[in-house]
Structure 1
Amino acid sequence: MRLSEEIMKKYQAGFSVRHPKESMCDEDWMFSKKDSTNQKLVFLGYDANLFPMTDFSKWPETDWKKKVIRTALSRTKGFTGEVWLDSVKIKECETE
Structure 2
Amino acid sequence: MDGIRYREQTVQLQKGDILYLFTDGITEAMNKAEDLYGEDKLQSILSFGEKYPEPTTENGTAESVCKLVSDDLAAFTDGAEQSDDITMLCIRYMGGE
Query: Does TM, normalized by the shorter one, top 0.5?
Result: no
In terms of fraction of residues, the more strand-rich structure is 1
TM-score, scaled to structure 2: 0.31
Quick one: higher RCO (CA 8 Å, sep 6+), 1 or 2? 2
**Higher Cα Rg, which structure:** 2
TM-score, length-scaled by structure 1: 0.31
